[in-house]
Structure 1
């Protein structure tokens, strides 16, 4: 079985409306040849609708879809050379795994001889570890085995574009982890241009060359996973990406003798901290800002060399041992704050502890729009991704 063809994919101002409901709102997305792009977002954000428009299963209300230089809006699904793997596997229960894999392979104008089909099935089955399962019926297979059959059916077609719609959602946690690793390995081996849809941020962060965060039918940010986590463009992205979720506290910024200081609002308890020397803060910042800090970037004052003008006073409400760390839930003023500490930290429910923030991991958002106004770390230039292998 040959390495899949690598076709660039382009969505230009693509919109999908159902009557007065806009499910996808004028999105622009360029997917490089051989790239693995993950679309992530909450239920109802338009991610599966986007995938179905790429496949041709949903008509595009407005905008243009291209595979390479070819406009695909009016091309029938069977003529797009797209393979799609669904959450529920979509296997025929009365057909063996082998027959499910080859069903419809000669649709769409292709005509493979029987010996080539057999060779493709054998190679895909060997790669997926299901060679001894090909004569079994779907009802005799586990969820992970059925998913491998569905993947095999997609891969033997050497698709220009491979579409995956929440393919791991029905698997248990251990099997999801195993299948994530297998999917990553399969993509490296076959190299098809891939668009993967999920609501699971762990899948998005571990699988994607780039991640598209979608909310209410609109793209919020497109970036490699680590850049997305470290430099969110707005509060939605900052909160959606990351577990446990980021902390938000109301604050303002003052400037004194060329340095900047974050100060809490009265609703968020009392804290003050100096920002690292920077030329990236605007003089015209809004009066009200949202201070964002991730749980792992807060530390017990007595355990760190970081200093803070006035630490956060956290009243501990509950602790959650995780084995490799301890998650602490408490309140600062009237806001709940989460802190991820060392597993052996000495913290008790009911006590008040002093916390300092990592000064290089601070985010400031506009309180009105939610857009990012400042990262204390400098945003790096994106590195090019090579998909030539």
Structure 2
């Protein structure tokens, strides 16, 4: 099993670089991506038995290139245009450049692929699916399982996404829109992480494979953009949040809230790494939403006990966050911080102002229930817990909320 996991890690490391090499050389993003997937599947079957080749990236490029050539020739023949098949390919199409030559893949292609997969013409769902397949190297079946949809549905989503970006130049955007495009890439990575850390539906509280993949991809982006504060901040936020994952569930998969978690189960090594990255991110320029959220997560991570949490400092950071990026979920987090500093009634007043923008969202109901319980309004808390349980699509969250409602005194 360990050998298989090492092979999977190696394949996911090389997948975007191999795809980038083929797209740069031959074009045809959709066909190239299919060919790389076939090469990855072949490697996954052969390498554990026959051993990893001395040059794994070169092996993958060679196999994928052959598959791509076969596909392009078959497509040309099927269209009855054999005489023009040569025009589809460069003159040296059947000669694979050895690593080290000008055609060798560059890790910069990882970022170019992310920009392509997160193109603004695509919906967020399509961006996520295409990113996980083309850059993450996951199979369609793996992506479908992670998102709890049929494989055929996910295959259609990926196919439509490929068609939408067909003809989009491969490379990084110009300086005039680079920041906006990078922001979309980071948003997609954060969406992947959030869906992994707290699954929005299904029987599992989290899907660790998605969270790990988001962290891996964000590390790759940071290697390419080490001076970008937003990238560093996002990686720090992911690490500090994921460090608590082992303590978030009980022995039967039940949710354990932050203030009740066994903090000895937190990953202190990851918290130390994330905290160091927060300091680095804050030194790289004006703090954006990811840096501020990471700083909040670091303060939680530093508290050995729930009662040691520096809530005044967290509230001050939330004030900065909602000022720079007014977003309902951030304001809901601030409402909790207000309650911890000024009392539950003050927090309830803040939460009440969000009822228009978060109407029907189970998280607003859950926060109201928690604060009503703290304020001593057991009937109001019970009703809010029950309403939140009805509205969430996550089975563990619903069970937790119903349990909280049931244990309130009558």
Greater RCO (CA < 8 Å, at least 6 residues apart): 1
Q: For the superposition of Structure 1 and Structure 2, which TM-score range results when normalised by the shorter chain? A: under 0.3
TM-score between both structures, scaled by the size of structure 2: 0.27
Larger strand share, 1 or 2: 1
Higher helix content, 1 or 2: 2
